[in-house]
Structure 1
Amino acid sequence: MTLIPAGVGQQPQQPAPAPVPDAPAPQAPVPLSDVAAGPIRPGGGAGTESTSSSGTDSEGNIPQQQAPAPQAVPPAQNEQQGPPPKISEGAEAPADLGYQIVTYTNFVQIPVTVKDNKGKLVPGLTWRDFKVYENNTFQPLRFFTVSPFPLSVAYVVDQSLPRDQMAQINQSLGAIQGGLTPYDEVSVFSYSNGAHNQSNGFTGAQSARVPFILSMTKSSGTEQLNAVNSGPLAGCPIRVNGNCADPNIQPGRSTGNDTFMTIPKEIHTLNDAILAAAKELSNRPKERRRVIYVMSDGKEYGSKASYREVVKYLQTNNIQVYGTLVGDAARLGLGRLSRFHLPFTMYDNMLVKYTLATGGTLDSENGVNNIERSYAELATEARTQYTLGYYSHEPLIDSKFRKLDVRVNRPGLEVSAKSGYYPSGKDVK
């Protein structure tokens, strides 16, 4: 009989499992009337009430949430609303900000055109090639650039031209945009017996509005009739019961008498048209080149403004006058004679004096192709000038004319610059 030790062959006893805690008893849903008291309120979002980490109490029940105490709203301060801010417009911006620093400066800027004996532009000059004299006193240069400037061009069209010459101008107006860039701006004027602003301000040079404005400046021109001061048609050609049918042509009136007939004078208000264009240009920014481009035969008679008044205004506001001469003023020989003026007669070519005084250029052309080419050439010339600058030794503003003399240290070159200027109170920085 074999003895088996105690405990051998018996299963070891397992330890008793830990008691499982009872799950929380199910709770009835919270009525809607109590939702407002909880952390989430309709339309109000989550509140800031503190809750336990498990959301239940020690017995597993959901605690009843309390509505947060209303917070005291601070009393509103008695603040007065000031006036609404003003939107700045252009040059009024410094004044709108509440202050403006004004400093009068004696800096003078001169656009200069240099050509050779063949009329071609001369590039490659440096500041050492130029000398500037103001009132016969040498002025050292303080500024020099050959960079092109954007143009503000006011075109002036003479509508008092003869029919054949006016027809050439009408056909050539479409080529004006070809000599301009998108950075330029144009305004259009016309005149015959008085100046008319066709564009009512400046517009972009490549805008679709420009062809429409130029089309409004087209005119049929005037009919050139020979005056009759002798024969049966002289004096009073139409009579009724022995008297003139029209009192204006009766002998002794404006047309004279049977032996002498006063020929009516032509009206060409060139001065008024240039002055109207200059007033429009005077408000353009200084960073732009201000140019008046005239298409005319240069005749002047009947303007309210005098030549001296207009030139003074141009030289005060740094405006240059360019032009294309047509008609008799563009013909060989007659163009030179038209520059001479007989007393008590009409000026046959006033544009020459304007261009010389302001530093512009004048072309004499006949034919549509030649006129169209002059538009591009003069626009390029006005944009690519040498620009010189210096500080004047004269007082800041004394309203006196200051004579200018620009020279180039190279032989055989022609220099075009304004003959002088008047100081202006607008030159501020």
Structure 2
Amino acid sequence: MPEVESYSEAVHRNPLWWVPVLGFCIALAPAVLSAQSTPAAHNITNQQKSNGQIQQAPPEAGGPQIDSGPYAIPKVSTNTQEKPAPPPAPRPTEGMPSYAITVDVPLVTVDALVLTKDGQFIPGLEKQYFRVLEDNVVQPIQSFGLTKAGFTAVLLVEFASTPAFQASRRQFLYDALRASYAFTDQMQKNDYVALVQYDIKPSILVDFTSNKEAVRSALDTMRIPGFSETNMYDALYDTLDRLDRVEGRKEVILIGSGLDSFSRISYDKLLKKIKATQNVTIYTISTGFLWRTFMESRMSMSASLRNMDFLQGDNQMSTFARMTGGRWFSPRFEAELPEDYREIAAAVRNQYTIAYRPTNAKRDGTYRKLKVELVQPGTDKPLIIRNQKGKELKYQVLTRDGYTARHEVE
């Protein structure tokens, strides 16, 4: 039997026996540290041993569906059961108000002017006689009344020396001045008027004032201009743009030949501006009819061509008035001017105002056609109006052609 060496003898024989042991421990240290920093999904130190095997987490706890060794692989849930119902809505606190979300449909206001064939205003009509159609759909009227008040108007006067009729320019300028004076004479204390002169560009001579003498004094300062251009489109567009910032109903009294020279604004763009402008009525007065009548009698080629220009101008002046519910006047003689302005003054001071909420609540920025009719209550038959002698009267209802609906971003 071999003799066993004691521990003390072995140490005495080999005093450096611990060096290999220390090297083994140093080599093993990184592996131990790496194992301690491994994610919990790979850590098996907390798992218990059963019958010599590592016990894995059950499937219900996120363990593997099958035996996959020492790794717990999360399973994909195959539970097709319905999700639990959401908790009930909290009960409102007592004493706190409740709110409902509503869509605000803007109120549309329409001014209607009812005139006889000779331009006389017809009073005394009631709500039940009026019917409003928007895009041929009848609208329920919310409010109705007869407006009797002063007016807010811009007197927009063409004052240019156009070369095409140099010999007759004084006639056109004289007509414009006489028409302006005639309108000023109709002013009352509750009326506000601004005076704007235009040739190559518009110039404000008097801002809104109820002082009749201030307007007349400004008219007295108007002299034969040096510019020959009549940029009517620019002047009317600029006037409408300024009136957008004025509250309430407004009128534009446009006095001129209806001709345009070299405006930056096109005719189509001006019409779009008129459609988009709310609460503005345009009344137009064409000038130079006496000279035009004289030129027609001469039957020259140049006179015929020039007359075609004036016919086009008349058509434009008529269009501006019709689109806004106003009127176009073409006086052939100076004596007609006072009566024309009396009709304008009566029209702007006496109008039926109708308000409704459109059945089409879309805010899509589209242009919507308007029509106001007088009907017998409860029927679609036109209303019959008779004078004091029982004679049936012919009448017309003037209102703007339509309006532009608000856009969602407004």
- Check whether TM > 0.5: yes
**In structure 2, do the counterparts of structure 1 residues 416 and 370 end up closer, same or farther at CA, with 3 Å as the change threshold?**
same
The alpha carbon displacement at 1:349 in A equals 3.8
**Which amino acid is 2:270 matched to?**
V
Counterpart position of 1:106? 106
**Which amino acid is 2:265 matched to?**
A
Structure 1: give runs of 5+ residues left out of the alignment.
1-102, 224-265
**Do the aligned partners of 2:157 and 2:180 also contact (CA within 8 Å) in 1?**
no
The alpha carbon displacement at 1:351 in A equals 0.7
**In structure 2, do the counterparts of structure 1 residues 399 and 329 end up closer, same or farther at CA, with 3 Å as the change threshold?**
farther
Percent of pairs with identical residues: 21
**In 2, Cα distance between equivalents of 1:418 and 1:270:** 21
Q: Which portions of structure 1, spanning 4 or more consecutive aligned residues, are displaced by more than 6 angstroms?
A: 329-334
Counterpart position of 1:270? 232
Counterpart position of 1:80? none
- Which structure shows the higher helix fraction? 2
Counterpart position of 2:353? 387
**In 1, Cα distance between equivalents of 2:314 and 2:397:** 26
Q: Between Structure 1 and Structure 2, how many residues are aligned?
A: 274
| Aligned mate of 1:418, from 380, 383, 400 | 400
Counterpart position of 1:352? 318
The alpha carbon displacement at 1:292 in A equals 0.6
The alpha carbon displacement at 1:291 in A equals 0.6
**Do the aligned partners of 2:158 and 2:176 also contact (CA within 8 Å) in 1?**
no
Counterpart position of 2:155? 155
| Aligned mate of 2:370, from 404, 407, 415 | 404
The alpha carbon displacement at 1:151 in A equals 1.5
1:139 equivalenced with 2:139 (yes/no) = yes
Counterpart position of 1:315? 275
1:182 equivalenced with 2:189 (yes/no) = yes
**In structure 2, do the counterparts of structure 1 residues 329 and 348 end up closer, same or farther at CA, with 3 Å as the change threshold?**
farther
**In structure 2, do the counterparts of structure 1 residues 346 and 357 end up closer, same or farther at CA, with 3 Å as the change threshold?**
closer
| Aligned mate of 2:198, from 166, 191, 194 | 191
The alpha carbon displacement at 1:194 in A equals 2.2
**In 1, Cα distance between equivalents of 2:251 and 2:118:** 24
**In 2, Cα distance between equivalents of 1:123 and 1:358:** 21
**In structure 2, do the counterparts of structure 1 residues 210 and 314 end up closer, same or farther at CA, with 3 Å as the change threshold?**
same
Structure 2: give runs of 5+ residues left out of the alignment.
1-102, 162-168, 297-303, 376-382, 385-393
**In 1, Cα distance between equivalents of 2:400 and 2:253:** 16
TM-score (norm 1): 0.57
Counterpart position of 1:115? 115
| Aligned mate of 1:165, from 168, 172, 185 | 172
1:220 equivalenced with 2:224 (yes/no) = yes
1:290 equivalenced with 2:214 (yes/no) = no
**Which amino acid is 2:276 matched to?**
T
Instruction: Report the secondary structure of 1:131's partner residue.
Output: strand
| Aligned mate of 1:325, from 272, 286, 290 | 286
The alpha carbon displacement at 1:129 in A equals 1.5
**Do the aligned partners of 2:115 and 2:397 also contact (CA within 8 Å) in 1?**
yes
**Do the aligned partners of 1:300 and 1:346 also contact (CA within 8 Å) in 2?**
no
CA deviation map 1:122-165 (0-9, x unaligned): 22211111111101111021111112133110111111362112
Counterpart position of 2:86? none
The alpha carbon displacement at 1:362 in A equals 1.3
**Structure 1 vs Structure 2 CA RMSD:** 3.3
The alpha carbon displacement at 1:198 in A equals 2.0
The alpha carbon displacement at 1:105 in A equals 4.3
Counterpart position of 1:279? 241
The alpha carbon displacement at 1:296 in A equals 1.2
**In 1, Cα distance between equivalents of 2:315 and 2:259:** 5
**In 2, Cα distance between equivalents of 1:421 and 1:175:** 32
| Aligned mate of 2:211, from 177, 182, 206 | 206
The alpha carbon displacement at 1:175 in A equals 3.3
**Which amino acid is 1:364 matched to?**
S
1:304 equivalenced with 2:264 (yes/no) = yes
**In 1, Cα distance between equivalents of 2:123 and 2:196:** 33
**Do the aligned partners of 1:111 and 1:417 also contact (CA within 8 Å) in 2?**
yes
The alpha carbon displacement at 1:104 in A equals 5.7
The alpha carbon displacement at 1:329 in A equals 9.3
**In 2, Cα distance between equivalents of 1:398 and 1:330:** 48
**Which amino acid is 1:372 matched to?**
P
Counterpart position of 1:236? none
**Do the aligned partners of 2:286 and 2:314 also contact (CA within 8 Å) in 1?**
no
CA deviation map 1:154-179 (0-9, x unaligned): 11111136211212332443333331
**In structure 2, do the counterparts of structure 1 residues 154 and 299 end up closer, same or farther at CA, with 3 Å as the change threshold?**
same
**In structure 2, do the counterparts of structure 1 residues 198 and 185 end up closer, same or farther at CA, with 3 Å as the change threshold?**
same
**In 2, Cα distance between equivalents of 1:192 and 1:135:** 39
**Do the aligned partners of 2:156 and 2:196 also contact (CA within 8 Å) in 1?**
yes
**In 2, Cα distance between equivalents of 1:351 and 1:392:** 30
**In 2, Cα distance between equivalents of 1:330 and 1:144:** 45
**Do the aligned partners of 1:324 and 1:371 also contact (CA within 8 Å) in 2?**
no
Instruction: Report the secondary structure of 1:323's partner residue.
Output: strand
**Which amino acid is 2:216 matched to?**
P
CA deviation map 1:95-119 (0-9, x unaligned): xxxxxxxx96421111111122333
**Do the aligned partners of 2:179 and 2:255 also contact (CA within 8 Å) in 1?**
no
Counterpart position of 2:34? none
